[in-house]
Chains A and B, each alone.
Chain A
């Protein structure tokens, strides 16, 4: 049995279940409590769980995120909301020097079971400072785990896994996805957790592999539909879901099946998740490639504001279709 939930409701359900399961889980961030969350992900949770479990913080990212990391060292399991992932910059030291390194530097004596979550995306006309997409950046710091769910079910399953994980997990959501709906398993059917590090084949094909994560998965699926209807091309669409740990086996498997790859990544062309995936493919499946690996990324400039052309800076179904056709 499953029901239709929005991405935001699925996240909320996951948070709510973990709050119920473990009294050490605490939600924190700007406007998460009384205001019900800037994006309404935490709506109703303050009313249900009260001040102790759902905590509004001042606008002081370095302070409250560092506080969360410190508390997690002692066994609290904080889930911190970043109103936008773009604001990571204010707390960067805490995120990459403390959360990522403390376990290593202490020789495994200290764990840091914290979750950082919030939207990381462009596409909402909010300009350069509010549109950073930093999953590749954080995945580059060993010690951190990074996930990027595309669907409501994945959002719920992954947020629950993230909260139970004993390492810092950075959950990159997307404002453009919060209102999307999808089937999510019923809680009555048991605990629904998606392990970190498992990719999901969202569509089966034989001609080309489109590998994506986050909102790009939806663009990839739309592109796959067009490719089938207009060009008779059948695409495998692999959703990475988890950036680190990364499901390299699933990536290699689809490449060996289709022999052609287009990677879709909302990060910029330089660096980013797709650059790493591209390297892994050529390292592990070079002999299976019938064409060079291609990518569809965000045009390599800070995010433009103009609502008229911002969508052209980002990956979109048209750009994916064009890239796939260029492989022939």
Chain B
């Protein structure tokens, strides 16, 4: 992000085949997806501040184009997995707002029955293998999804998201080596928002040109993408995904983006390590939703009023999800012991052999 300014001339990716193929409806749908993520989170933020949501809340606001741009390219054979900043990927994977909001509220109707929280959304039925709490810990899992696809002789590729801070974990490097060595259909997407908590990319990583270039050491393809341009995200990710699907070749994509809020909402420090000017500049000049909006209007597909209406719908959907969450029951104490072992949940004969639980 740092080397790009509002006036930097940009290539236009609207004409690339994958974008040219988009209908007006599909373009509007991309807008709807981005605002649904943003509205969901803005309302979650409000209720977090009101003490209704526990633990951490890592907001994705500012980065919506990454999940929406990349996952809009995925079909029923493709899979994805990410870290704890997972709301955007979950919504984009097709998860409904009600169970997501209920999860944040710690309710039994949550997508993980109140057991996972903000960092641990999952929907394997939608090929979304979750949010994961250990930095870099999901990167070998993404590799495993790709290995599984290839082993099982299935079509498709795996998208594995990570932050710019996570690139320094050993697990990521080990994953890259295996990905290239075994020729696995995995695309690593580094969501480079410039910071890992309060540490800027420059203070956390040693690199030459960019983080994705590390792929070269593993004889792997890579690219760098401007995350404020949905067309560019789609055009370049499409190439990597097709290569993964058809040739079983992995890749690293580094998508430059920005988060507007602190690392988590508990991060009271975030105005100290980033200047207000920097945040404002991004919001004004690079906001992916704002730019997509302008684009759609310029293309004559839709009016500002119609877009406002879509935005309103998204906000109403999120508000309704809060109502659902508020009215949902809390988990029972006994439920703490559910979902630990498959066999005890299903009361199979094996569940009666030996003792599974040891309390006090």
- Residues of chain A whose beta carbon lies under 8 Å from any beta carbon of chain B: 30-31, 34-36, 38, 56, 58-63, 86-87, 89-90, 124-130, 268-270, 294-297, 299-302, 304-310, 312-313, 323
Query: Known contacts A35-B269, A59-B196, A300-B358; is A305 also within 8 Å of B203 by CB?
Result: no
Task: Mark contacts of B106-117 with chain A using CB atoms, 8 A cut-off: 1 yes-contact digit, 0 otherwise.
Answer: 110000101111
Nearest opposing residue in chain A for B107, CB measure: A306
| Cα distance A58–B172 in the bound complex, in angstroms | 14
Residues in A neighbouring B169, C-beta threshold 8 A: 59-62, 90
| Cα distance A236–B221 in the bound complex, in angstroms | 65
| Cα distance A87–B116 in the bound complex, in angstroms | 17
A127 and B116 contacting across the interface, CB-CB below 8 Å: yes
B55 to chain A, nearest CB (A): 4
Residues in B neighbouring A296, C-beta threshold 8 A: 360
25 contacts between A and B (CB under 8 A): A30-B197, A31-B198, A35-B197, A58-B165, A60-B168, A60-B169, A125-B54, A125-B106, A126-B55, A129-B132, A130-B119, A268-B358, A294-B360, A297-B359, A300-B357, A301-B337, A301-B339, A301-B340, A304-B114, A306-B117, A306-B331, A307-B54, A309-B106, A309-B331, A309-B336
Q: Is B47 an interface residue (CB 8 A)?
A: no
B5 to chain A, nearest CB (A): 26
Q: Is B94 an interface residue (CB 8 A)?
A: no
Select which of A59, A124, A294 is within 8 A of B166 by beta carbon. A59
Residues in A neighbouring B54, C-beta threshold 8 A: 124-125, 305-307, 310
- Could you say which of B133-141, B181-189, B226-234, B298-306 contacts chain A? B133-141
A299 and B106 contacting across the interface, CB-CB below 8 Å: no
B225 to chain A, nearest CB (A): 23
Chain B 121-151 interface residues, beta-carbon cutoff 8 Å to A = 132-137
Chain B 175-203 interface residues, beta-carbon cutoff 8 Å to A = 196-199, 203
Q: Is B260 an interface residue (CB 8 A)?
A: no
B333 to chain A, nearest CB (A): 5
| Cα distance A134–B328 in the bound complex, in angstroms | 34
Query: Known contacts A56-B199, A269-B359, A270-B358; is A127 also within 8 Å of B331 by CB?
Result: no
Nearest opposing residue in chain A for B166, CB measure: A59
Q: Is B74 an interface residue (CB 8 A)?
A: no
B327 to chain A, nearest CB (A): 14
Query: Known contacts A294-B360, A305-B117, A307-B106; is A129 also within 8 Å of B133 by CB?
Result: yes
B119 and A63 contacting across the interface, CB-CB below 8 Å: no
Query: Known contacts A269-B360, A270-B358; is A127 also within 8 Å of B117 by CB?
Result: yes
Beyond A127-B116, A299-B359, A309-B336, 7 additional contacts (C-beta under 8 Å) are A62-B170, A127-B133, A269-B360, A300-B359, A305-B116, A306-B117, A309-B332
| Cα distance A86–B134 in the bound complex, in angstroms | 9
Nearest opposing residue in chain A for B338, CB measure: A301
Select which of A58, A308, A313 is within 8 A of B330 by beta carbon. A308
B168 and A63 contacting across the interface, CB-CB below 8 Å: yes
- Chain A at the B interface: mostly helix, strand, loop or mixed? loop
A304 and B115 contacting across the interface, CB-CB below 8 Å: yes
Q: Is B319 an interface residue (CB 8 A)?
A: no
| Cα distance A166–B107 in the bound complex, in angstroms | 48
Q: Is B72 an interface residue (CB 8 A)?
A: no
B336 and A312 contacting across the interface, CB-CB below 8 Å: yes
Residues in A neighbouring B103, C-beta threshold 8 A: 305
A92 to chain B, nearest CB (A): 12
Q: Is B204 an interface residue (CB 8 A)?
A: yes
Q: Is B85 an interface residue (CB 8 A)?
A: no
Nearest opposing residue in chain B for A294, CB measure: B360
B330 to chain A, nearest CB (A): 4
Nearest opposing residue in chain B for A91, CB measure: B170
Residues in B neighbouring A87, C-beta threshold 8 A: 134-135
A35 and B359 contacting across the interface, CB-CB below 8 Å: no
Select which of B106, B115, B204 is within 8 A of A58 by beta carbon. B204
Q: Is B43 an interface residue (CB 8 A)?
A: no
Q: Is B291 an interface residue (CB 8 A)?
A: no
B331 and A304 contacting across the interface, CB-CB below 8 Å: yes
Q: Is B120 an interface residue (CB 8 A)?
A: yes
B337 and A306 contacting across the interface, CB-CB below 8 Å: no
Q: Is B56 an interface residue (CB 8 A)?
A: yes
A223 to chain B, nearest CB (A): 14
Residues in A neighbouring B132, C-beta threshold 8 A: 129
Q: Is B273 an interface residue (CB 8 A)?
A: yes
A45 to chain B, nearest CB (A): 15
Instruction: Name the 6 nearest CB pairs between A and B, nearest first.
Output: A125-B54, A307-B54, A305-B117, A306-B106, A306-B114, A129-B133
A123 to chain B, nearest CB (A): 10
A59 and B204 contacting across the interface, CB-CB below 8 Å: yes
Residues in B neighbouring A59, C-beta threshold 8 A: 135-136, 165-166, 168-169, 196, 204
